[in-house]
Structure 1
Amino acid sequence: MCGIVGVVGRNDATKIILTGLKRLEYRGYDSAGIYVAGKNNNLLKSTGPIKNLEAKLTPAITGTMGIGHTRWATHGKPTEENAHPHTSEKGELVLVHNGVIENYDELRQTYLSEDTFYGQTDTEIAVHLIAHFKNEGLQTKDAFKKALRLIEGSYAFALVDTQDDTTIYVAKNKSPLLIGLGDGFNVLCSDALAMLDQTSHFVELMDGEMVTLTATDAIIEDAAGQIINRDFYVAELDASDIEKGTYPYYMLKEIDEQPVVMRKIVQKYQNEDGSIAIDPNLLATLENSDRVYIVACGTSSHAGWAAKKFFETLTQLPVEIHLSSEFGYNMPLLSEKPFFIYLSQSGETADSRQVLVKTNELGYPSLTITNVAGSTLSREATYTLLLHAGPEIAVASTKAYTAQIAVMAVLAKALGTKKAILAANEFDLFHELGLIATAMETMINEKELLEELTAEYLTHTRNAFYIGRGNDYYVSMEAALKLKEISYIQAEGFAAGELKHGTIALIEDRTPVIGIITDAATGLHTRGNLQEVRSRGANTLVIATEELAKPDDQILLPTVHPLLTSLLAVVPTQLIAYFATLQRGYDVDKPRNLAKSVTVE
């Protein structure tokens, strides 16, 4: 599932909902739909981009209340029948939903065996269930409540009764949802970015809560029906932050923003006296721990691997990296005093949250490092550190990855200094991050060279390999992920020494193999591995630091501190993925089958 928007109390509800849906396009989706309460109770749905939905709109589709949705298929194919909003069998109720209802089949067999369904989604079963209880004599709100008590799984629901154009019923469990407060109107959204042009005042909803939303009120109730009074928070983002400006794609803009992000992290985490601004309680808790467990998915997991060496070097604390989707159901034997760090750009990653819920139950301290203040992982962890990277809109993460590594470095430096670790005291992190920012600018200015090399090596290939050792291997994993997720080239990142233990069998004539060399201790070994694949027909490309470069190396990186090379080495690989995608004619920002914020397990 993907994006939800809604508004009540505005004459231009259709325009507001459509604009909100467009602002959520970055999350990835395969269909979209809108319902506006008016004379005709207008409900429209379409597959493909939102412009297809927009083309169906007419001036007659107008009203003061409505809901909209962008869908990423989980149950049923991406068809118009499966797109949201869904209606009850007689059409009296309309529902949009993010999340996954785990017991949908049981509910259908128990309560809805005589109903006719038009699609294959769990959401359609949910709205039929609410209507079932309404037909038994309950008011819409009470029918909704009864259904919520039976539904198992994750959900963010927005429900309207077609006979009432003044109210939207909202409920949340495990899937993000916000209420936005306006002057004489109110909105709802799964991401504040969708409604920043309407309000900057948002109220967070907690799991198990339900809201009765009208133009003048947002009445929050817990599962027991008790009224909850909660203050709003002011969104720190500006609507202009999400605009591409002169850039053709958000991804290119976000790659170019990385030097600014490095400098902003320095600014946000440096006190006037030059010391590091980190919560002393967080440092004390970490100091009292015996092992750090970094839990993350995808790109964030790769950032964890990139941070492992410098974190251990500067703090003398052992670090383990775990995939959230595996850790939650296959928890390893833990140390006596573990500390958990959750890395997530959105702070809403469902796989990570289900681990956090379990570690909270066990009473273990935790830290979320995220780009989104007030996100679920931020609220539910013991501590939070923000990336200060600004909105990341492209599905393929770039600046959030480097920001995660940089903030982890800030934390490691602060803890190492507190523990009087020699390596930390000798390490001027803020100076080094400044050098990194300048070096990033140097690489970003090499776009013409990188575009040419990409055309030479990757335009006509079906697969490719990135290889390296140590941190260069971890960057290789991230580089391969970037390439495969947007250009659809089958790319893999390998530890260079492992090629000869089986994977070298895949090398054919002109197979692209890109080697990353930033470590003096392993650089010659990686070059040996490159020679092995070259002798078997591979087309090799080398990314190396200037101090380790050979005359034939194609991409040279400015020399930076050896503990922080991951921050720089990844930049040319991001641009390579970008150009490979352009050259193949694909949409850089919105790759197929992917969503920006993965809110289902």
Structure 2
Amino acid sequence: MCGVIGVVGNNNATEILLSGLKRLEYRGYDSAGIYVNDQHGNDHLIKRVGKIVNLQQAITNEDSGITGIGHTRWATHGKPSQSNAHPHFSQDRRFYLVHNGVINNFAELKAKYLTGVEFQSDTDSEVVVQLVDYFAVTDQVDALTAFRKTLQLLEGSYAFALMDRQEPDKIFIAKNKSPLLIGLAAGYNLICSDALAFLDQTDTFLEIHDGEMGIITKDNVQLTTLDNQPVQRQPYQVQMDANDLSKGTYDSYMLKEIDEQPAVLRRISEYYYSSEQDKLAPQLLDDLQKADRLYIVAAGTSYHAGLVARQLFEELADIPVEVQLASEFGYHMPKLSAHPFFIFLSQSGETADSRQVLDQVRHLNYPTLTITNVINSTLAREAEYSLPLCAGPEVAVASTKAYIAQIAVQAILAQKLGLRKKIAAASELDVAQQLGLAANAIQTIVDQKDYLEQLSHDYFAQQNAAFFIGRGNGYAVAIEAALKLKEVSYVHAEGFAAGELKHGTIALIEEQTPVVAFILEQSTAAHTRSNVKEVLSRGAHTLIISKQSLAQEGDQLVVADLDERLMPLVAIVPAQLFAYYTAVERGNDVDQPRNLAKSVTVE
């Protein structure tokens, strides 16, 4: 969940590193640092706690270089501090290293090889750079050989960038389970955890696969396996405009991305319906049709999108569905059906919890599909099939537009599978039309910002806890709504099935406790309203979000009607804005909430 970057062969290395770190700050922001070398015997290491701006303020005009590495951190080993910040360096200051990932056996390696070393940090990463130095000195070998020997001892995940003061025109790299790309520019080269870091420098990138290492110079890339077998791979173009990463006139990415949701739904419809060529491969639909059960594997917001999709697949495609938390499924795999099909949902396509499940499933030879916003990501590349979300870059840590994109793409997939299986429900639902209606409905909601800001002030800003309730898809929305509020506002929020309140949760209701109820389906509307009365009688401050055909006088927010199975596309948007405005009023950093990172690349 850290950001790793590097540049070799450019006189503006310091500025390029700072710019790249700013674009990768969503991956971690408790500390940051850079190491640069001018290839003439002068080098500089600058590290600071906190956000990139603190690092930027510490850098002077003298801190220039031609080659350098940088890092923005999300702590896994050791608290945020200047000594724990990357880059880490060897005892003799020859080697400098940045790392994303977790080394599981660092303590054993430290005890076996490095008892005489005085460590400067509490991190697993420093063990790696000290090991490289140990082998270089003890075995009297060059940096590449020492690095390879170190890598062969490591257990865990890593994306490394290593520099050697004796060879300052090179960056040594290695990857296992953590993302890393090589950027190919005019007269210089780059490395990064995410192509977003350097879209202003190049649109041409080269993938590094697990178990590979290499040497990058300004005009050459040399990749090998850990046992020194050469690797040849063609670069690819990233089809994205660097301007898409700009906040424009917005104060935050989160608000910008909420406002982009109508456009996202229209873009998805255009991609999957307007093209002459069907974007769903016939073989994908064949394998789905052969399956006797779907397993949707995801984490966080993606898991909540999977909960919504379960009803879509079961009703439109007539197939049983299980939605599984990736972090649990990988180590507590349930008894599988005879012919399972696995769908992995991930905004980044680099979610470590999901990837370890994908690894297991591939070894069992089951068909797999990744639905992600980053089509060249690890999960997309390693699954048998992949489908894009078409949401555009999502920079704010709290996911908004990727959530509705995941629901929309799964709805399209469920309907097309149902049509192939000749399921009546699939032919009765016009998903393309529904996505258009949802886009219009969301636009109506985001146009009511003043009202939603006032509701946020009245219900949440001064509270320490809030509850969201619903039934069916309303329950699925309640869980996601609670996550959004707690992520960015730090208000303790929980989502509950409305009928479960009386089985224990109602004990938590106190005077003025906010309770938001989603009333989105005909069959349970009366029951949910009864639950609202139960908490109201115990002093709760209730807020009802209802679909138009089920609305009653006094409902605070009424949203347009869609097919009940797709109501979460619209109903979640007020909750996203409640989270945003509550966080703003409480003075929080909306885009980069405490303790969180966007791309969770460690288990």
TM-score (norm 1): 0.99
1:155 aligns with 2:158: yes
Q: Could you say which residue in structure 1 is the equivalent of 2:363?
A: 361
For residues 297-446 of structure 1, what are the structure 2 equivalents within 5 Å?
297-446=299-448
Q: Percent identity?
A: 56
Kindly report which structure 2 residues correspond to 1:110-189, keeping only aligned pairs within 5 A, or say none. Answer: 110-136=112-138, 137-189=140-192
SS of residue matched to 1:373: coil
Deviations 1:229-253 (A, max 9, x none): 1000001111000100001100000
1:229 aligns to 2:232 (yes or no): yes
Q: Distance in 2 between matches of 1:392 and 1:557?
A: 25
Amino acid aligned to 1:297: A
8 Å CA contact 2:29–2:52 kept in 1: the answer is: no
Partner of residue 33, structure 1: 33
Q: CA deviation at 1:28?
A: 3.0
In structure 1, C-alpha distance between the alignment counterparts of 2:89 and 2:386, rounded to whole Å: 40
The Cα shift of 1:224 comes to 2.0
Displacement, 1:271? 4.5
| 1:256 paired to 2:279 | no
Q: What does the per-residue CA deviation read over 1:46-80, in whole Å, with 9 as the maximum and x for residues that have no partner?
A: 00111111111111111110000001000000000
Q: Match of 2:100?
A: 98
**Partner residue in 1 for 2:574:** 572
Distance 2:27 2:308 in 1: 25
Letter in 1 for 2:571: A
1:197 and 2:179 are equivalent in the alignment: no
For the Cα contact (< 8 Å) 1:271–1:277, is it kept in 2?
no
Q: Which SS does the other structure have where 2:35 is aligned?
A: strand
Give unmatched runs, 5+ long, in structure 1: none
Name the residue aligned to 2:3.
3
- Confirm or deny: 8 A CA contact 2:187 2:218 kept in the other structure: yes
Alpha-carbon distance between aligned partners in 2 of 1:585 and 1:531, rounded to the nearest angstrom: 33
**Residue 529 of structure 2 corresponds to residue 523 of structure 1:** no
Please give the TM-score of this superposition, normalised by the length of structure 2.
0.99
Displacement, 1:40?
3.0
Residue aligned with 1:348, SS: coil
Distance 1:286 1:90 in 2: 57
1:239 is aligned with what amino acid? A
Residues 1:245 and 2:239 are matched in the alignment: no
CA distance in 2, matches of 1:277, 1:56: 49
Task: Give distance in 2, aligned partners of 1:277 and 1:600.
Answer: 32
Structure 1: how far apart are the matches of 2:281 and 2:125?
A: 43
State the shift of 1:277 in Å. Answer: 3.3
C-alpha distance in structure 1 between counterparts of 2:542 and 2:530, whole Å: 12
Residue 133 of structure 1 aligns with an amino acid whose one-letter code is F
1:269 equivalent in alignment to 2:272: yes
Structure 2 CA distance, aligned partners of 1:436 and 1:541? 22
**Any idea what SS the aligned residue of 2:493 has?**
strand
1:51 paired to 2:64: no
How many angstroms apart in 1 are the aligned matches of 2:314 and 2:125? 46
What amino acid is the match of 1:44?
I
| 1:18 match | 18
* Counterparts of 2:130 and 2:490, CA distance in 1: 39
* Distance in 2 (alpha carbons) for counterparts of 1:66 and 1:85: 10
What is the SS of the residue equivalent to 1:541?
strand
Of residues 67, 75, 88, the one that matches 1:65 is: 67
Does the 8 Å contact 2:27/2:73 carry over to 1? Answer: no
Secondary structure at 1:150's aligned position in 2?
coil
The answer (yes or no) to whether the contact 2:27–2:74 under 8 Å persists in 1 is no
Q: After superposition, what is the alpha-carbon deviation per residue over 1:488-532, rounded to whole angstroms, capped at 9, x for unaligned?
A: 000000000001100100100100000000101101101100100
The code of the aligned residue for 2:451 comes to L
- Which amino acid letter does the alignment assign opposite residue 569 of structure 1? A
Matches within 5 A, 1:422-501: 422-501=424-503
Question: What is the CA deviation profile of residues 326-369 of structure 1, one whole-angstrom value per residue up to 9, with x for unaligned ones?
Answer: 00000000000000000000000000000000000000000000
Alpha-carbon separation, structure 2, partners of 1:548 and 1:271: 33
Q: Which amino acid aligns with 1:109?
A: A
Letter in 2 for 1:185: Y
3-state SS in 1 of match to 2:533: helix
CA contact (8 A) 1:308 1:319 kept: yes
| Match of residue 560 from structure 1 | 562
Q: Deviations over 1:262-307 (max 9, x none)?
A: 000010001457x953111000000000000000000000000011
Q: Give, in whole Å, the separation in 2 of the partners of 1:416 and 1:29.
A: 44
- SS, match of residue 166 in structure 1: coil
Aligned length: 600
Q: Deviations over 1:366-424 (max 9, x none)?
A: 00000001100001001000000000000000000000000000100110000110000
> Quick check: 2:299–2:354 contact (8 Å CA) kept in 1?
yes
- For the pair 1:209 / 2:209, whether they are aligned, the reply is no
3-state SS, counterpart of residue 34 of structure 1: strand
Q: Deviations over 1:560-589 (max 9, x none)?
A: 111210111001100010011011010110
Q: How far is 1:27 from its partner?
A: 2.4
Q: 3-state SS of the aligned residue for 2:55? A: helix
